[in-house]
Copies of this chain bind each other. A is one copy, B any other.
Amino acid sequence: MHRTHTCGEITAAHIGQEVTLSGWVANRRDHGGIIFIDLRDRYGITQMVFDPQDNETAWKIADTFRSEYVVKLTGKVRHRPDGQTNSNLVTGEIEIITLSAEILAESKTPPFEISDHTTANEEIRFKHRYLDLRRAKVLENVKFRAIMNHFTRNWFTAHWFTEVQTPIFTVSSPEGARDFLIPSRLHNGMFYALPQAPQQYKQLLMVWWIDKYFQIAPCFRDEDPRADRHSCEFYQIDCEMSFVEQEDIFQVAESFVKDLIPGISPEKHIRENKVYRFTHKQAKDLYGSDKPDVRFDLHFEDFTADFKDSGFSVFQGAVATGWVVKAMKLENVAMSRGEIDTITTLAQSHGAKWLAYIIYEAEGPRSPILKFFSPAEMKALEEKLSPKAGDMIFFGAGEYALVTKVLGAVRIALRDKYNLADRSELAFAWVTDFPMFERKPDGTIDFEHNPFSMPHGGAAAFDNPEPTEIYGMQYDLACNGYEILSGSIRNHDIKALIKAFNMVGKGEEEVKEKFGAVYNAFQYGVPPHGGFAFWFDRLLMILKDEENIREVYAFPKSGKAEDVMMNAPNRVDELQLKELWIEIRE
């Protein structure tokens, strides 16, 4: 037997008992010939005392202990001497006089300091992830993922959703991101693909009639890694429902987050305990983003009409071209010349020529462009933005897409610089009514988002002669500036679906060929349906205040899509390739 107790459970109630503990040597102190060891395991720390007077053999063995050795110790529980108790520890009242000791495994000196304050770089930490995981923060993240998995599955199960595990070996899909491929040994020259999402399968489940489906689904996309996108594999809370409308789906997702946050992250709170709503257009208009961070205001006001006849030729010229003028007010800051330069540089990196601003001082507004503004223009600013002394106004003038993008980026930079957002707050916001089609520079029409969404107005919407005015029943959920959910009411009407493809110059044959299973299934009684996918890992990252999504995986891939601990990817034997009917291209 390796232990009678863990290192986290012995208290004053055990005093006088003989116990056996196994764990890691966390810390060693020598005081007047007596050795003190902090013995640690996943559950806690227990103080072990080795006194040559009590047992010289054990004391001698303890003298050979080094950090991170795994040892098995037997001894008697006693009260710590007065003044040495530690009320922060469950085990802080007791210590154990060790009577026998055994080394179960030695340890070399770890290649980096195992502490939350480690300065080791990511590569060395990931190479020895089994040691990196011993840091409290990483342990916490891995445990939290388990808790979130558990909560999520219990929640959906309790709400009558049925978990279905959809295949991981499927077929390459022509839309979306790049697929990962798996060469088939049994079928020469053929390939499986890993699913980018179980989209087709979950729609087939609706044709079946499962009614409410969910799964914490592994998904695979061959995309380049990003801070909020793990390479190779990620997880989504995948969900689909029959006989629902958009509001029904919103209700499910909203109740889930309203239960989830107090359930697993009680230190966070949902802003106003509500979920905001914006159309895609409103989100762009107000925040320059389709995933706005609405923990803080700093929204844009439109001044296009106000500067139509401006003496400031930049604004007037923009309006004359059919472009826009927008502005936002930053409250109560005093930006230095250098800080303004920095934020201007940021705006320029997003394509702006320049960043116009006004500083409101006690003496009144100050700005190089002020002299061009008419009293009516100054009044418009005051009416829409109510600037006070200490505030600043930033402007953007130009093409709509550019202005919203630049001001959106400036807004986020200001958030980070001035801590405008409360880290303990979660601001959820629906972004709805995505345009279904875009007109490309050459005048042709293409899908802007998901071709499989039902448009607002139903199938009849496709009769609109102006495709860019057709909006999908498609929605994202934003949280603190991240997209954490995406979904839609699906177009279950096969004729309407073909109409949608016709609009981008594609025919029925294409739908049949590329989405054959769904095309066939929809012939046999398909219910109206819709659903969503929560980006599980990204939500986890937000809840654990991580800047990089890699930190929320037990064994992450690096920024180069490598597992540096396992050495993946790697070369393989020629024989393996031969069996799979492939060879490496020179």
A-B pairs with beta carbons under 8 Å apart, 21 shown: A2-B244, A3-B243, A68-B525, A107-B523, A107-B524, A130-B204, A131-B207, A131-B524, A149-B163, A150-B163, A171-B567, A172-B570, A178-B579, A180-B182, A181-B572, A181-B580, A186-B224, A189-B571, A517-B567, A581-B585, A582-B584
Q: Is A414 at the interface (CB under 8 A from chain B)?
A: no
Residues of B within 8 A of A6 (CB): 211
A572 contact set on B, CB distance < 8 A: 172, 181, 191, 193
Is residue A110 within 8 Å, beta carbon to beta carbon, of the partner chain?
yes
Could you say which of B40, B192, B218 contacts A218, with CB atoms under 8 Å apart? B218
Q: Is the CB of B528 within 8 A of A104?
A: yes
The interface residues of chain B lying within 8 Å CB-to-CB of A207 are: 130-131
In the complex, are the beta carbons of A570 and B22 less than 8 A apart?
Answer: no
- Of A138-146, A288-296, A371-379, which stretch is located at the interface? A138-146
Q: When A209-B42, A583-B582 are in contact, do A130 and B524 touch as well, CB less than 8 Å?
A: yes
Residues of B contacting A166 in the complex (Cβ-Cβ under 8 angstroms)? 554-555
Across the interface, name the chain B residue whose C-beta is closest to A198. Answer: B555
Q: Indicate whether A146 sits within 8 Å of B134 (C-beta atoms), given known contacts A167-B233, A566-B517, A583-B583.
A: no
Complex CA gap A259/B274 in Å reads 41
CB-nearest residue of chain B relative to A149? B163
A477 within 8 A of partner (CB): no
Instruction: Report A114-145 residues with CB < 8 Å from chain B CB.
Output: 128-131, 133-134, 142-143, 145
Stretch of A382-390, A462-470, A556-564 lying at the B interface: A556-564
Q: Is the CB of B190 within 8 A of A162?
A: no
Q: Are A182 and B179 in contact (CB under 8 A)?
A: no
The tally of residues in A whose CB lies under 8 Å from a CB in B reads 119
Query: Can you tell how many copies of this chain the complex includes?
Result: 2
Contact B527 A184 (CB under 8 A): no
Q: List chain B residues, Cβ under 8 A from A583.
A: 582-583, 585
**One of B108, B191, B233, B244 near A569 (C-beta < 8 A):** B191
Once A554-B165, A557-B169 are accepted as A-B contacts, the answer to whether A525 and B582 lie under 8 Å apart by CB is no
B146:A163 contact, CB within 8 angstroms: yes
User: How far is it, in angstroms, between the C-alpha of A581 and the C-alpha of B183 when the chains are bound?
Assistant: 13
Q: Which of A493-542 contact B (CB under 8 A)?
A: 493, 516-517, 520-528
Q: A565: nearest residue on chain B (CB-CB)?
A: B517
**Distance in angstroms between the alpha carbons of A22 and B187 in the assembled complex:** 43
In the complex, chain B residues whose CB is within 8 Å of the CB of A527: 2, 22, 70, 104-105
